[in-house]
Chain A
């Protein structure tokens, strides 16, 4: 009797496991997913050829770009935006007929991507797959410094050129890597503009540095602390918190007890938005709050009044988009669309306003395009040489990579701006650029208003 019952139980468990497997396989991306919005490679455009011509014969080559997307997990919000920006570039370049090389080859692009679940282990497994099975020609990093660092090891081991978007941490470029090219301003410089602005607003401010304990945020703080010291600021509290922190109550109590008037820190979207909300609820009484990443996202105003006054360092803002005139003044070649054209195209495609993560994703494609055009080839070594020689200006700003052996691939041509959530005349929350003064479209809200 008992045996029969056990057999029945066993068969039930097996049935359940099979059912589970079926459901999971239905939910999980079993096959490599084409990047959303990426069109299938098309035939090369047919051009009317003169009867007798010496022009080279047209041939089409599809370059495969491999990357992972965090469709799930902690990095989902920013990662999806980065990929959306990249897809926009790819759609545009393919629709425009691709890149035409001097030997008559038309280069088009296709994307190969997988969900990395915001997990480093998945990233390493999937980048290996992208290189060895999918034969990706070039790689783009996943979003976030931690995931990009994991991917960079695989890219470097296999000698694949990888443009790292959404990965600002400095260290990966200081360990002898030669295949990585960073698009973002390095983490160590993230908050320096904010300190410069503070210097004009409140030289006596007492600073609390409270940050996520991850690669990116730690690299930001490592650059920030000596700069604060050099500017004569007193850091009254320095505290790290775990990435999965949801209760910031004890940390906020510490900030209040420390007598800090300004908070600099944060990490990524989930923790940053939670931190901002709880600072508001607890009426922490700070004069100025700058958090990393989260306030730069268009989801941030969902916090309501808790978003008011929160500022962030931004890689790009439409309100302070870079222009050809700026490039001319700097004597640098202009490349790509204007900021307004980019924003209009993105809004037409998604009905959303682009954030700096979107701009970063788009710019990744633009940089690769420029490198292929300059190299007049898709040969990885020639493209790599073109990236090393690159010194351009686009709507996103300057792009130039360090070529010294000490910091190969580190971004040295790009500057950041400081943006802050303020209210417009209609009482709607809008993100305004408040620093540098020459590109600002609003004065800083300082001190930030007390919650009612």
Chain B
């Protein structure tokens, strides 16, 4: 009985967190879907998003949610820069080349970040209150983060399906050669897609910073979660990533009700292997 009650209390928390995990994973899976590149610099970019919120909040007093706009813009531009410098020339090479290229970017960001910020934990001392629903406590920061994640998901959906550049992205993801024959500037579209992917990573980091402490190394764990979510939702399927995030968030809420919380990563990554073995295209279908 106590477990059921604990489950009811923990589940909403997990779901709210799942939206943010989903947003982070959406960036990773968008890049994979469009250009078949596994972006290993995803984690440090999430961490940079966290630092973006921290410095905007502590130095300028900017509300962390207003701060999402500059963080998103910088994330987009950073992604385009990374694509241009490190990814574009290896885009047609075997996967290992792009993997190494993004891993190099990962190491550069971590190295420079460690020199600039050290690896001490940082905190954004910001609270948005809490709401009690019976025995359930919902933190304002998580509630707003989930709403923002939903907004970004909706925005991404509209962008991909209702705008011209979005349609170009889908066309390039579908068949790059055919898209080029139709006059679509594939290089610019690839750069834009990479930029959008990093923008989503940076924004998710900025949201996470409002409720968890972080360091320049903090993005690593969210990157790993993004891989699990990507596989759950189907790599290359950004909307599936959101559902994958929700599943992971729920698991993180539910598992501790029945066993020690240190079992959470064991079960998460066990699930990762099972999905890869049983349904490699993910629960919601990968990009064909």
Contact = CB atoms under 8 A, between A and B. Distances in A.
Interface of A: 5-6, 8-10, 12-13, 16-17, 20, 23-24, 27-28, 71-74, 76-77, 213, 239-242, 244-247, 249-251, 253-254, 256-257, 269-270, 273-274, 277, 281-283, 299, 302-304
Interface residues of A, dominant DSSP: helix
Interface stretch (B111-119, B197-205, B229-237): B111-119
Contact of A17 (B104, B211, B264): B104
Given A8-B89, A281-B130, A250 B252 contact: yes
B213 A16 contact: no
B198 to A, nearest CB: 18
Interface residues of B, number: 52
Interface in B37-81: none
A17 B96 CA distance: 14
A246 B212 contact: yes
A253 B6 contact: yes
Given A13-B101, A245-B261, A6 B93 contact: yes
Interface stretch (B22-30, B120-128, B161-169, B239-247): B120-128
Closest 8 CB pairs of A and B: A250-B256, A27-B111, A246-B212, A12-B89, A72-B119, A249-B13, A9-B93, A20-B104
Contacts of B256: 250-251, 253-254
Contact of A9 (B92, B112, B262): B92
Nearest to A250: B256
A246 B213 contact: yes
Contacts, number: 128
Contacts of A213: 262
Nearest to B256: A250
A178 B5 CA distance: 52
B23 to A, nearest CB: 16
Nearest to B2: A257
B10 A253 contact: yes
A27 B115 contact: yes
Contact of B17 (A244, A245, A247, A269): A247
A244 B89 CA distance: 36
Interface in B210-231: 211-215, 217-218, 221
A10 to B, nearest CB: 8
A273 B213 contact: yes
A421 B9 CA distance: 30
Nearest to A252: B137
B130 A283 contact: yes
Given A16-B86, A250-B257, A281 B139 contact: yes
